[in-house]
Amino acid sequence: MTGELPAGLDAQLAQIFGHVRALMDQVGASTDDIMRMTVYLADFRDREALNREWLAMFPDRASRPARHVVKADLDGGLLAQADVIAVVGQ
């Protein structure tokens, strides 16, 4: 991870979802343990890139976590931001 902000929504979302995968792996969990994900978008209607990443991470409709998408005024060139709630361990 370079700390660089990628240009464009596609690249930023790919980075976000990559970070989520890495985080879950680092805590000994998987994306199956995610209960809810909130995604903040600078352009609320710009969901095509989000949906691509979402379906790649959660291909099984029956086991997807809850998703909430919110319009947000993001600073510093951010076009997207996310938070995740997961249940890890017992």
pLDDT tens string 38-61: 999 999 888 999 999 999 999 999
HSE of 22, CA atoms in CB hemisphere, 13 A: 7
Domains and CATH numbers, the chain: 9-86 (3.30.1330.40)
State the average pLDDT for the chain.
93
Q: Element (H or E) spanning 10, and its range?
A: helix 9-26
Q: Do 86 and 29 touch, CB atoms closer than 8 A?
A: yes
State how far the Cα of 10 lies from the Cα of 59, in Å rounded to an integer.
Answer: 18
pLDDT reported for residue 8 = 93
